[in-house]
Amino acid sequence: MGNWVVNHWFSVLFLAVWFGLNVFLFVDAFLKYEKADKYYYTRKILGFCSRTLRKQLDHNLTFHKLVAYMICLHTAIHIIAHLFNFDCYSRSRQATDGSLASILSGLSHDEKKGGSWLNPIQSPNMTVKYVTFTSIAGLTGVIMTIALILMVTSATEFIRRSYFEVFWYTHHLFIFYILGLGIHGIGGIVRGQTEKSMKESHPCKCAESFEMWDDRDSHCKRPEFEGHPPESWKWILAPVILYICERILRFYRSQQKVVITKVVMHPSKVLELQMNKRGFSMEVGQYIFVNCPSISLLEWHPFTLTSAPEEDFFSIHIRAAGDWTENLIRAFEQQYSTIPRIEVDGPFGTASEDVFQYEVAVLVGAGIGVTPFASILKSIWYKFQCADHNLKTKKIYFYWICRETGAFSWFNDLLTSLEQEMEELGKVGFLNYRLFLTGWDSNIVGHAALNFDKATDILTGLKQKTSFGRPMWDNEFSKIATSHPKSVVGVFLCGPQILAKSLRKCCHRYSSLDPRKVQFYFNKENF
């Protein structure tokens, strides 16, 4: 636990401040309605008051999800509270016992004739459903709730992975949600006594003598009420301004010309695009958003950069994994047609940027998830070429897990170059890489076994032999901990959540309680 706090102290502090601010705002609003005299009569009807929140930016998606969970939680609380409120309003409007609540509920809604209502239910026959769909607050509340439900359900991992377009378009219902939030309070359903009426008939003096409000000789007059001015705009104004500014900036960057210098089709339906863009500057492990207007004007998809900062171009590898990617690959496969125009926004940072801050780095890629580590390994190759003495990293363990042999092919050239470079510089031990094939049959295994004594692997052509199955992570972490008993080890993953859980557990299990000994820190790419 101590190691986790040390590694994520800024995230903990940020979340604590954010949560504390939310608690403060909630308590402040609660006390205002609970204690303020202007809401005395509102409380009499409702009755509930008297009876019974640089690492955080790297985890922006995690924070985004946390905010979404909080919105859902508080939306549910808000809806349930209003259901209780309207139940109280309805019973008070139907009451005929002459109580204070029934008198307040019977105040006229005709403000042209001097009426000043407190209960939104105008007559005993009016239903809560009618008020919900005819009032500004009720109608906007229904619209916002439907929009929120659609956004949340379409954001599940299954929908995102299998039907990205559904997720993408549905998530933009947030526009209607924000608009509804801005006008939700205009109707003024929760009302308080006016300042003028407070001076003439303060509830502390006149609440008990409500039966004499209409008497000419009484110093207490019938109270007048007004809706609470809408305040939701105060909450959304700053985020909306920031969002608009960000969208303008991203639009400006996306309109800058992108020149596609090379197109390569790799096996397993993987498309490589090498591009140039004026003023483009990147770091290892970063990603960009890509749009192809000829396929969709609105869809932007994230792709990890596979080039190194030292190269004079930037590249991405795109695997067919849905309608958009399949259409993009098909467009570039058409040899006699014009190359589609590509728009690029970014780059943006990820956890992999910190890889060179660790003495020992463990890189784990699953399938196309190897892309951020291609950038890292390429950069290492260039650093060795230039004899960069500032390189802090002394050892890299690289694990690549794939379902089919064809997936290895586009990465082979880079690994072969690294093998040769390490041999020439006498640093064979710097890079320890393992390739794991999870989708195999007896024919592949038999073929590999017959050729096991060859100098290179029969499947990849590399000196390192391909392993069949999945890594035994306990064994791997145990070996690393033994080999580096006093090192800080950064573990980086770009892969599925189930693999992340296994690696996170191993990081915790094999980190020493002594901070002077081996420590494993887990980092995961999020898209």
pLDDT in tens, 340-388: 888 888 788 766 667 777 888 888 888 766 777 778 877 877 777 676 6
Q: In the predicted model, is pLDDT for residue 453 greater than 60?
A: no
pLDDT of residue 76: 92
* pLDDT over 80 at 329, yes or no: yes
Among 44-58, 108-122, 164-178, 333-347, top mean pLDDT goes to 164-178
Q: Are strands 258-266 and 191-193 parallel, antiparallel or unpaired?
A: unpaired
Residue type, 226: E
The CATH architecture assigned to 351-441+460-524 reads 3-Layer(aba) Sandwich (3.40)
Grade residue 199 by pLDDT with cuts at 50, 70 and 90.
Answer: confident
Q: What are the residue ranges of helices labelled H in 163-294?
A: 164-171, 174-183, 195-200, 203-206, 232-254
Q: pLDDT (tens digit, 9 = 90+) per residue, 74-86?
A: 999 988 988 888 8
In our burial notation (b when 16+ CB lie closer than 10 A, e otherwise), range 160-179 reads: eeeebeebbebeebeebbbb
For 256-348, CATH number out of 3.60.21.10, 3.30.450.90, 3.30.420.140, 2.40.30.10 equals 2.40.30.10
Q: Bigger pLDDT: 220 or 111?
A: 220
Report the half-sphere exposure of 17 (CA within 13 A, side-chain side): 6
CA angle, corner 403, sides to 400 and 408, nearest 5? 50
